[in-house]
């Protein structure tokens, strides 16, 4: 990632790591106003703690949203709430472990996202001893030809992918932005973590789509970063999945050597025991000889991705039918293709439309 973030070598180690993990391209890909993204990077380079700088930006956008509402400018208010939601999302990323501060910042993110209603609907699904959360986005007509379920990985979840959802809704598809086990409010509020049976948790979002009469047609799933591993497992296990996109995921997850990444993974599993984290990661290894993907697969890869090399993702292709598998590689692509966001989302939106529309029948 260093090559994509010039100038980080002159920063203090923590700030440099934050700039590498959350470069300008990622900030804007997940919905920050470009001016806010530049300000966040500049303020943190100048010494303001990441969480404080991001929270200040979020508060400014919230005030802008409220002023627009008071003036009757609802479109401007929605725009500002979107930017506030993204700023709160990145504020909580300053904390790798589940501190009270992280929970508070994510709750503020959730509240800002909820202010976008009715454009987004909050959904909650009973699961084990808690609830899984998500955001449902419908196409302008309110009637979906098919539905795409999207989730992230270790640090970016749910409404971080509102721009991805727009690629579906603008094409007549519904999009459900999932916060699965180990993610978002599902983890921070309800204590649901990743374990050997994590696929069962993500399958509950398919149950929800099937039960909603507004969501007709086939069901596709898209996993971003580490979440691509969960998507591949679900596609191999659940015949209801009509198409799957894997973007920047390792087929064989390992405990990272970097401290912050190790802390993120431990938080996802819900334990400080390194042996337990390793045990879960070993259980989640995707073996193409055991796990077969029978639905169409689209694999996305960035040639400059330091977190998921092409060979790390190649087992997903070996698990799929060659006639139904597509690979798209951007030689200069960063992790999950932050720097090709518009083209990536257009490609996946069109691909899901081609593979899901007409594949299923209306429900309800």
Superfamily of domain 117-364: Alpha/Beta hydrolase fold, catalytic domain (3.40.50.1820)
CB atoms within 10 A of CB 231: 28
Whole-number Å distance between alpha carbons of 206 and 226: 19
**pLDDT tens profile 200-225:** 999 999 999 999 999 978 999 999 99
**pLDDT tens profile 105-163:** 999 999 999 999 999 999 999 999 999 999 999 999 888 999 999 999 999 999 999 99
Domain covering 11-116, topology: de novo design (two linked rop proteins) (1.20.1440)
pLDDT over 60 at 72, yes or no: yes
Q: Which sequence spans correspond to the domains of the chain? A: 11-116, 117-364
By percentage, how much of the chain surpasses pLDDT 90?
91
What's the predicted TM-score (pTM) here? 0.95
The predicted model gives 338-348 an average pLDDT of 98
Contact 119, 177 (CB under 8 A): no
Contact 153, 187 (CB under 8 A): no
Whole-number Å distance between alpha carbons of 88 and 158: 13
Contact 159, 207 (CB under 8 A): no
**pLDDT tens profile 275-328:** 999 999 999 999 999 999 999 999 999 999 999 999 999 999 999 999 999 999
Whole-number Å distance between alpha carbons of 86 and 109: 7
Closest to 46 (Cα-Cα) out of 32, 31, 56, 58:
56
């Amino acid at each position: 990632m260093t090559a994509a973030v010039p100038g980080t070598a002159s920063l203090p180690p923590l700030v440099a790591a934050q700039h590498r993990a959350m470069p300008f391209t990622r900030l804007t890909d997940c919905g920050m106003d470009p001016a806010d993204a530049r300000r966040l990077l500049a303020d943190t380079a100048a010494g303001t703690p990441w969480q404080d700088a991001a929270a200040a930006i979020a508060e400014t956008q919230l005030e802008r949203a409220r002023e627009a509402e008071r003036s009757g400018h609802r479109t401007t208010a929605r725009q500002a709430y979107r930017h506030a939601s993204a700023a709160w999302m990145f504020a909580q990323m300053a904390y790798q472990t589940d501190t009270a501060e992280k929970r508070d910042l994510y709750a503020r993110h959730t509240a800002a996202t909820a202010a976008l209603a009715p454009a987004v609907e909050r959904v909650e699904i009973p699961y084990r001893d808690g609830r899984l959360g998500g955001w449902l986005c419908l196409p302008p007509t309110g009637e979906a030809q098919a539905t795409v379920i999207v989730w992230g990985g270790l640090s970016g979840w749910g409404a971080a992918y509102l721009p991805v959802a727009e690629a579906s809704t603008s094409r007549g598809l519904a999009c459900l932005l999932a916060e699965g086990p180990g993610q978002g409010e599902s983890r921070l509020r309800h204590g649901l973590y990743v374990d050997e049976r994590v696929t069962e948790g993500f399958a509950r979002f398919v149950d929800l789509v099937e039960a909603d009469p507004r969501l007709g047609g086939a069901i596709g799933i898209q996993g971003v970063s580490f979440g691509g591993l969960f998507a591949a497992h679900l596609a191999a296990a659940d015949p209801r999945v009509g198409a799957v996109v894997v973007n920047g995921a390792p087929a064989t997850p390992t405990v990272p050597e970097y401290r912050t990444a190790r802390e993120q993974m431990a938080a996802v599993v819900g334990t400080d025991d390194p042996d337990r984290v390793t045990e879960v990661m070993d259980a989640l290894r995707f073996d193409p000889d055991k796990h077969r993907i029978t639905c169409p697969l689209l694999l996305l890869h960035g040639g400059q991705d330091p977190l998921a090399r092409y060979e790390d993702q190649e087992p997903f292709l070996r698990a799929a039918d060659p006639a139904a598998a597509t690979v798209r590689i951007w030689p200069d692509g960063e992790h999950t293709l932050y720097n090709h966001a518009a083209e990536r989302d257009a490609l996946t939106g069109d691909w899901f439309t081609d593979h899901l529309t007409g594949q299923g029948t209306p429900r309800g």
